[in-house]
Amino acid sequence: MKKLFVSIGLVAAGTASLQADYAPGLNSMETTKLWSLSATLRGFYDDNYTTASGPNARGSSGFEVSPQFELNVPLQQTEISLKYTYGLYYYQDREDLGENPIDQTHQLDLYVDHAFTERVKATFLDTFVVGQEPELLSQGENISDPDRVEGNNIANYATFTLHNVWTRLLSTDLGYENGFHDYQQHGNGNPSEEAANPSLAGVLNRDENTVWLNLNWQVMPETVALVGVQYGQVNYLANEVIGQWPSPAIPIITYYSNSRDNRSYTGYLGIQQNILPNLVFAANVGIQYTEDYNDPLVHTTSLNPYAVASLTYTYAPGDYAQIGINHMRNATDQVAIDSNGGITLDQESTLAFADINHHLTPKLLATALGQVQLSTYNGGIYNNDLDTLYSLELSLNYVFTPHFSANAGYNYDYLQSQVPGTDYNRNRVYVGVSATY
């Protein structure tokens, strides 16, 4: 199936954008024209499109149709890029079962960069998606729900950064980030049934807001050190029952969606080092303090490490390799209550990744992305239990002409979990053609 998302590594390092001068997935025609229009037709086989465990897995052949429109507007002090991608996916197995065989996805990316003066620059990025795949709905974050989810599920990620150069050595970055999630699967309004089987909307619909301030010091021409602070607020929005203790039949304590609201304070030190003109190391490392202030049973606080780091090597035009790691807290779809009434609040996750984009010949591009996410549950019956999610994406793209190319790929996903009944294996292969104008 189509690679639906920008490399998590590139997003984490802050090096991925929609700028026309850095667009590894686009050909030269798309990066030099004001606008471009393309379309992809692929056939695929997915051996576990339900991401189910063991014998419940169902496989299906199918096809994908995906048109895309991109607009790049370079102005005197402003760059604007807009990209819209539509995906239609047909599953033969669902047709055979008498179910709706069609899934649809939408992704709208906006990038705006504006220089107010030589010293002050603002950058805005926004990605709005509607879809079913966890990779599409996570968009560079640690994955909260590793399962494929039916329906028109919505996620939006927006980032605004104001960069101000105060002196030759000192600059600041003031930033704001918002993550919005809305899953289509809601509860039925019956508190005891919602408590026994919480909906995805009940446990994952949320609004995440983060503000940060970095003070940057140009230590040497190729070295920037920084000290930063960050405040985060997570509010769950569904207003549904997600658990009752000791049981739905005898509810002494009722947990609602917003029982898992939290706020966090993070301090970190960072460095960006241009080891070579084409080899860049960047890292922020610190401590995150989190308050789960809305838990009806107990107000809990916790400390955990915070880290975002990457090493990027651009060894030829259009060719790069990157490795990196992210460590932070993230939401989870599990809410199991323990014998003392404690509920699962979230996860502490470490995501390690490696990414390579390499031209085997001038016309043949190979890409590979591998990642491992280790997530530990915080609270509830699965407290300190571990989920490990392995992912691998391999693809080849051969350009016959500037207007026509062929592509093939393979995706592998494996969830190994200490939560009973959630493990799964998934293999996907695809082959197709693309046309660009």
| Contacting residues for 317 by C-beta, under 8 A, at least 6 apart | none
**Which neighbouring-strand residues pair with 120?**
164
Per-residue pLDDT reduced to its tens digit, 20-36: 333 334 444 445 579 99
What gap in Å lies between CA 338 and CA 382, rounded to an integer?
8
361 Cβ contact list (under 8 Å, min separation 6):
none
Contact 35, 74 (CB under 8 A): no
Say how far apart CA 307 and CA 270 lie, in whole Å: 9
Q: Which residues fall within 8 angstroms of residue 250, CB to CB, at 6 or more apart?
A: none
> Which phi and psi angles does 28 have, rounded to 5°?
-65, -30
- How far is Cα 241 from Cα 258, in angstroms, rounded to an integer? 9
Q: How many CA atoms lie within 13 Å of 51's alpha carbon, on the beta-carbon side? A: 16
The pLDDT value recorded for residue 142 is: 86
Please tell me the distance from the alpha carbon of residue 195 to that of residue 198, in angstroms, as a whole number.
6
Identify which of 291, 285, 282 has the alpha carbon closest to the alpha carbon of residue 267. 285
Within the chain, which residues score under 50 in pLDDT? 1-30
Predicted local confidence at residue 32, as pLDDT:
59
Q: Is there a cis peptide before residue 251, judged by omega within 30 degrees of 0?
A: no
Cis bond leading into 246, ω under 30°?
A: yes
Contact, 432 vs 406, CB < 8 A? yes
Dihedral-angle region of residue 145 (phi above 0 means left; psi in -120 to 50 means alpha; beta otherwise): beta
Q: Report which of 132, 44, 145, 47 is spatially closest to residue 415, judged by C-alpha positions.
A: 145
Domains of the chain with CATH codes: 8-436 (2.40.160)
pLDDT value for 33: 79
Q: How far is CA 49 from CA 53, 170, 186, 210, 418, in A?
A: 11, 51, 21, 34, 22
Report field, pTM of the whole predicted structure over 0.75:
yes
CA distance 433 to 2: 11
Distance between CA atoms of residues 157 and 178, nearest Å = 6
Q: Please, are residues 247 and 254 in contact by the beta-carbon 8 Å criterion?
A: no
| The pair of three-digit structure tokens given for residue 271, joined into one six-digit string | 């460095």
Residue that the structure tokens 């460095």 belong to: 271
Contact 182, 156 (CB under 8 A): no
